[in-house]
Amino acid sequence: MASSNSSAITSTIWDYIFIGGGLAASVVSSRLSQLDSSLKILVIEAGPNANNESNIVWPNSTNLIGGDFDWKDSTVSQRHLNGRNVSLATGKALGGGTVINGGGWVRGHKFDYDLWGSLVSDKRWAYHGQLPFMQKSERHWNKTSNLEQHGLAGPVPIQSVTSTKREFPLRKHTLEAWKELGFREVPFLDGNAGNPLGIAELQEGRNGGRRIISAAVYSLESVTVLENTLVEKVLIENPAAENKGLKAVGVRLADGTEVHGQEIILAAGAIRSPQILLLSGIGPSAGLAEFNIPVLLDQPDVGQNLADHSILFNAWKVKDPGAGWALGSPNPLFSQPQYSWGYPFDFLVNGDVPKEGLAEAIAADEGVVPNPDTHPLLSHSRTFVEYIFMSVGAPDGSLVTFGAAPMLNTARGSIKLASANSREAVKTQIKFAGSNATIIGREILNGEAGAPGFDEVLSVDSTDDYIDARIRAGLGTCQHPMGSLSMGKVVDVDLRVKGVDNLRVVDASVIPVVITGHIQAAVYALAEQAAGIIYADRCNSAR
């Protein structure tokens, strides 16, 4: 990384200024510098450089969620979750979420991307439009199967349970159990080939277990990085006297310093990118007026459409902990180093839901009976629930853990300002369990170990009311926020903020639909494509 001398930073007119140094900024700034090494590129990151921090490298690291590199956000009180505030983990370091995430490499369903492309009327954002960029980002472990779906030479190494030789003792039993429940094995057990419905092997963005931080695997050698620096807002000119539109010309840091550039790229994530736009005077006029922020552009969609995946974990008792089924047991298998190289489960299982009950729930939410041929939740088989069965749950190996993650929560949340102070957290509303179409699978509930505050264990005989109560008491987040600056509403298909010249957004906030995957894979592809779009615009404007 280039030197970040403060006087040089303020005296330079930068070609590109990135607000936020997370996953997307790492990718786009790196690719732009490779395309043209003469470009003056500045990345401003609120957190430190964590690339060489040994205490975050491995899956069992202790400095991840809630640690030094986490913003430690939480939601406002959630009415549908018994008034609980839900913790939200977002990366505060160079590399953003890749510094603290679980590493799961899960693209989601082809239909999600096709819906995205259809919604914005641009095939570049449909699955086959994004596939080349999915491939460009990854270095896949399997060099013999599904080669038309995977990249073999990208910066992000992908590993699987079998590639790391860490199959768990319950692997055969869980595979057969899932099949008995009606799930199929996806071809090659590869859930990253367009249709993940069924049983797929866990894939992770890791290298022999080691965490992959975007800012480490994408070279920032020719990029200037300003660490531990908070941006307050985008500087926007409003030359109304010249009969011109709004134009971004730089950023103001939280300490009042101003830095100027030709193009500003907001890449602070689905929670902070909306905050910065709002503080810059772009957003719903009523919300801005509440904090005496001058309204430059009344844009009611800023901060809306926030989506995330939720998850509910339950512990299950192991009849004989000494049999060696789970981590913590005396099984010598678990002393082999590869069993600490990734998360302790073999499979991700993706399931659809019965359409009849879903149609009734949608009708209750939307007030009209949905058309099953055209409604996006009914017209196609999709991943509604992701299931995991983990060989861990207690230090002595007496428990295993089952997780069910609703991937298509239909209620949408929002990001709103709490004040005009950039150092103060926003009001984040996620609305989990806020609609009738929020689904938790009930097919494999039996032998559960119970939960704090509940006398009854879950079983196939549990009532709907009891299951709903357990969900509201225990439902959490997968830490996959997206959609709060949606493409088609806030930004156009080239990621430009509508109504403001020289300002783009490149992060998960622009994703206009729910991606039923672990979104780092989607954001890597988004950023790879964004780099090409931004550079092409530069070349075209120079002609």
Region 511-516: what's the mean pLDDT?
A: 97
Beta bridge mates, 477: 310
Amino acid at 235: L
For residue 442, the model assigns a pLDDT of 38
**Token pair listed for 367:** 């007030």
pLDDT band at 54 (very low <50, low <70, confident <90, very high): confident
pLDDT tens profile 196-215: 999 999 999 999 999 999 99
**Token pair listed for 257:** 């310093």
For residue 3, the model assigns a pLDDT of 53
- List Cβ neighbours of 7 (8 Å cut-off, separation of 6 or more): none
Region 67-78: what's the mean pLDDT?
A: 92
pLDDT band at 93 (very low <50, low <70, confident <90, very high): very high
Report how far residue 170's alpha carbon sits from residue 346's, in angstroms, rounded to the nearest whole number.
Answer: 9
Region 147-167: what's the mean pLDDT?
A: 97
Residue 480 annotated among the catalytic residues of the structure: yes
pLDDT band at 80 (very low <50, low <70, confident <90, very high): confident
**Does pLDDT of 25 surpass 70?**
yes
Region 226-232: what's the mean pLDDT?
A: 97
Of 32-41, 172-181, 240-249, 392-401, give the range with the top mean pLDDT: 32-41
Region 136-150: what's the mean pLDDT?
A: 96
- Burial label for 336, CB within 10 Å (0-12, 13-18, 19+), is exposed
**Does pLDDT of 450 surpass 50?**
yes
Report how far residue 314's alpha carbon sits from residue 389's, in angstroms, rounded to the nearest whole number.
Answer: 10
Of the candidates 87, 64, 83, which has an alpha carbon nearest to the alpha carbon of residue 477? 87
**Token pair listed for 347:** 């499979």
**Token pair listed for 462:** 């549990």
CA atoms within 13 A on the CB side of 338: 14
Q: Rounded to two decimals, what is the model's pTM?
A: 0.93
Report how far residue 75's alpha carbon sits from residue 16's, in angstroms, rounded to the nearest whole number.
Answer: 32
Cα 402–chain centre separation? 22
CB 260 within 8 A of CB 14: yes
Kindly state the percentage of the chain with pLDDT values over 70.
92
Q: Are strands 41-44 and 224-226 parallel, antiparallel or unpaired?
A: parallel
- Percentage helix, strand, coil, to 5, in the chain? 25, 25, 50
Query: What is the number of H-type helices and E-type strands within the chain?
Result: 11, 27
pLDDT tens profile 373-432: 888 888 788 888 999 999 988 888 888 999 999 898 888 999 999 999 999 999 999 877
> Which alpha helices (H) appear in 367-476, and where do they start and end?
464-474
Give the active site residue among 80, 109, 309, 480: 480
CB 91 within 8 A of CB 46: no
Of the candidates 265, 221, 246, 267, which has an alpha carbon nearest to the alpha carbon of residue 534? 265
Of the candidates 62, 61, 67, 30, which has an alpha carbon nearest to the alpha carbon of residue 48? 67
For residue 244, the model assigns a pLDDT of 72
Report how far residue 417's alpha carbon sits from residue 429's, in angstroms, rounded to the nearest whole number.
Answer: 11
Region 474-494: what's the mean pLDDT?
A: 95
For residue 4, the model assigns a pLDDT of 64
Q: What is the CATH T-level fold of the domain 1-72+89-139+212-302+482-543, as seen in this structure?
A: FAD/NAD(P)-binding domain (3.50.50)
Is residue 231 marked as binding? yes
Where along the chain do its domains lie?
A: 1-72+89-139+212-302+482-543, 166-203+310-406+439-474
Beta bridge mates, 106: 518
> Which alpha helices (H) appear in 38-187, and where do they start and end?
110-120, 127-137, 171-180
Residue 80 annotated among the catalytic residues of the structure: no
pLDDT band at 460 (very low <50, low <70, confident <90, very high): low
Of the candidates 394, 388, 403, which has an alpha carbon nearest to the alpha carbon of residue 327? 394
260-269, 271-280, 431-440, 442-451: least confidently modelled range? 442-451
Of the candidates 55, 94, 132, 54, which has an alpha carbon nearest to the alpha carbon of residue 220? 94
CA dihedral 312, 72, 232, 419 (to 10 degrees): 80
125-129, 325-329, 447-451: least confidently modelled range? 447-451
